[in-house]
Chains A and B, each alone.
Chain A
Amino acid sequence: MPLSPDRAAEGLAEKLWDFWRGYRRNKGAVFGLFFLIILVLIAVSADWITEFGPMDTGIGRPLQAPSGRYLMGTDDLARDIFSGVVHGARVSLMVGFTAALTAALIGVIIGSISGYFGGMTDDLLMKFCELFQSMPRFLFALVIVVFFGNTIWNVVVVIGILSWPRTGRLVRSEFLHLRESEFVMAAKGIGMSSARIIFRHILPNAMHVVLVTASLEVGAAIITEAGLSFLGAGDPNLMSWGRMLYNAQRFLRTAWWLAIFPGSAIFLTVLSLSLIGDGLNDALNPKLKRIKR
């Protein structure tokens, strides 16, 4: 049900507790959240945890296997892999969350307009959505990044712009369903503006879809960024997980640690985000709630 702001503030703590009770039931989701929190802490304190900078070359012998001093070994330029993995978390989390936020914003705007107004607007926007969904998005991202310069911001913006369709579609279908409900009829009946109905009344009820999709989009964006860096189109000034895998490719035969650690970092991060998505769905989806309680 739509909440007026004052009532929402009043019941916020209660709502959060309610949410947590639904969320913690999913053990995988709790693990995912735990892992993500640890990762954020690592990313924030990267400079204090590591002895060497991620770009510092010649800190020891090149291609050393993991040891007490070099936890994850060193690469061909004798850079510390551990430092790279820790600092790479910053890049991946930053890209993942910013790109997903961008995608969610675009998706919510297009999806809600499309679903609320329907008709021609809907047809046109959905054709547009289809175009975005069917095109080779990774290649688009790659070409744009190469043409516009491979800075981290270009990477973020491109991934964000190319990933809105999933959110857009889901928000649209929620709106299609919700605009027929009685509270929307009532709001229309008392002459409320479309913008107010969309943002104050329908959107809060469709928010669970946005959140669940966003958590998946964060993971997808992290993989896309890694893919771009893996092809040498990432930001050359930052150490990212994809870039480390790109570097590992040439030394697979001699130095397995170059590939294992950054790759596991991507896998575990994206896995956690997907588990969190499941948990959010369990806790927020009103349809599931009714069945369970």
Chain B
Amino acid sequence: MLWGVDVWRHARDTVRSMYAYIARRILEAIPLIVLVLVMNFVILHVAPGDPVFLFIQGGGGATEEYVAQVREMLGLDRPLGEQLLIFITNVFRGNLGFSHFYQRPVIDIIAERIPITLLLVVLSTILAATAGIILGVFAGKNPYSLVDRVNTVVAVFGYAIPIFWFGQLLILAFSIYLNILPTGGIPSRAMGGGSFLDWVRHLVLPVISLGVIQLALTARITRANMLEILGMDYIDSARAKGLKENTVVFRHALRNAVLPVVTVISVNFAFQLTGAMIIETVFSWPGLGRMMFESVFRRDYPVLMGLLIVMSVGVVVVNLITDLIYAYLDPRVVYE
């Protein structure tokens, strides 16, 4: 039996080990970030041509003095090891280089557009995961039923359809044929838009096309978990207690079936992020993806490299956060 002091001790130990766990996970993430940066550095240096010209874009009009100046500024005349150190230090200081096209530091251009892209990613992830869980629960509850077959179709569809083509189809159907939704862009104040409804109208199609893979994944995982959990002993005992079927399914089984979805979202985050970048091109959404698309077109290397760095570090950080959330939600995780 636990007395007051024991309860307190137990709580203290739990909190302590939780902090230790958080600290350990953060420490584990750091080498991962450094490794990602090293890979970026390697790409930059293994790519054909003098890296200095990547930074001054073609460098056709650049004078020799300017080239020398940039080379010195970036430390490209130093030994490779030192260059790597300079590269990593610069990234940690938020210095990702300068875009000659935008005439601004890369980090500023990226930071400005992150919220616009995240809006798309977060909305579609949440909505698709919710829909996927609902679909998965009903499919798992009634295997081989109509809902289950719908689930199978969604899974196959989500795997095989290129999301950018799905986006184009949605535009063809809803914006051009039915003419009920805008073909793309975000609401503009100047055009008298910007109301909540206007935002919703602009978000519907991109969010759906981006969410289709997440929906398929979540539904499949939830269904599989549901099937497994509904065969477990504790479910039998809940039923034997005479609980209503709905209580058994939605209170007892669902909780445990949904937990792995957190992991799926985390693992899939990088994919959603890059998916958003393609979808933005389809729907003229002025976020990171559009900038990426234009930078590919212009061969704006500093912007592309900066994007890659921000994205890869961002993914590591998001995965870390979801791991911590998972540990918080799932009492079975041992903070060893």
Contacts and interface: CB of A to CB of B under 8 A. Distances in A.
B164 A245 contact: yes
Contact of A231 (B270, B273, B296): B296
B66 to A, nearest CB: 22
A140 interface: yes
Interface string A149-168: 10000000000000000000
Contacts, number: 130
A252 B284 CA distance: 13
Interface string A211-253: 0000010010001001100111100000000100100110011
A190 interface: no
B270 A137 contact: yes
Given A137-B274, A146-B304, A252-B183, A223 B43 contact: no
B161 to A, nearest CB: 5
Contacts of A66: none
A193 interface: no
B172 A223 contact: no
A67 interface: no
Contacts of B278: 138, 227, 230-231
Interface in B119-178: 156, 159-162, 164-165, 168-169, 171-172, 176
B32 A231 contact: no
A252 to B, nearest CB: 6
B98 interface: no
Given A147-B47, A266-B165, A136 B159 contact: no
A148 B48 contact: yes
Interface stretch (A42-50, A106-114, A172-180, A267-275): A267-275
Interface stretch (B100-108, B218-226, B244-252, B310-318): B310-318
A227 B47 contact: no
B304 A270 contact: no
Interface string A98-142: 000000000000000000000000000001001101111111101
A120 to B, nearest CB: 16
B165 A135 contact: no
A192 interface: no
Band of interface residues on A: 35 or more
B41 interface: no
Interface string B300-325: 01001101100110011001000000
B11 interface: no
Nearest to B272: A136
Main secondary structure of the interface of B (DSSP, over half): helix
Contact of A232 (B169, B296, B304, B311): B296
A143 B43 CA distance: 9
B312 A135 contact: yes
A91 interface: no
A131 B292 contact: no
A224 B278 CA distance: 11
Given A248-B168, A252-B171, A134 B47 contact: no
Nearest to A145: B296
B283 to A, nearest CB: 10
Nearest to A222: B162
Contact of A134 (B270, B277, B282, B301): B270
Main secondary structure of the interface of A (DSSP, over half): helix
A149 B299 CA distance: 11
Nearest to B314: A136
A17 interface: no
B273 A136 contact: yes
Which of A142, A223, A242 has the largest number of chain B CB atoms within 10 A? Answer: A142
B316 to A, nearest CB: 7
Contact of A245 (B168, B292, B293, B301): B168
Which of B43, B308, B315, B319 has the largest number of chain A CB atoms within 10 A? Answer: B308
B319 A136 contact: no
Contacts of A148: 47-48
Nearest to A216: B159
A5 to B, nearest CB: 37
Which of B164, B281, B292, B305 has the largest number of chain A CB atoms within 10 A? Answer: B164
B54 interface: yes
Nearest to B156: A274
A252 B156 contact: no
B159 A134 contact: no
B3 interface: no
A231 B267 CA distance: 24
A202 interface: no
Nearest to B316: A134
Nearest to A265: B165
A96 to B, nearest CB: 13
Contact of A147 (B43, B162, B164, B315): B43
A261 B274 CA distance: 25
Which of B32, B43, B168, B316 has the largest number of chain A CB atoms within 10 A? Answer: B168
Contacts of B270: 134-137
B159 A274 contact: yes
Contacts of A233: 296
Given A137-B274, A144-B43, A227 B164 contact: yes
B92 interface: no
Contact of A142 (B159, B172, B282, B292): B292
8 contacts: A135-B270, A136-B311, A138-B278, A216-B159, A245-B164, A245-B168, A256-B172, A259-B172
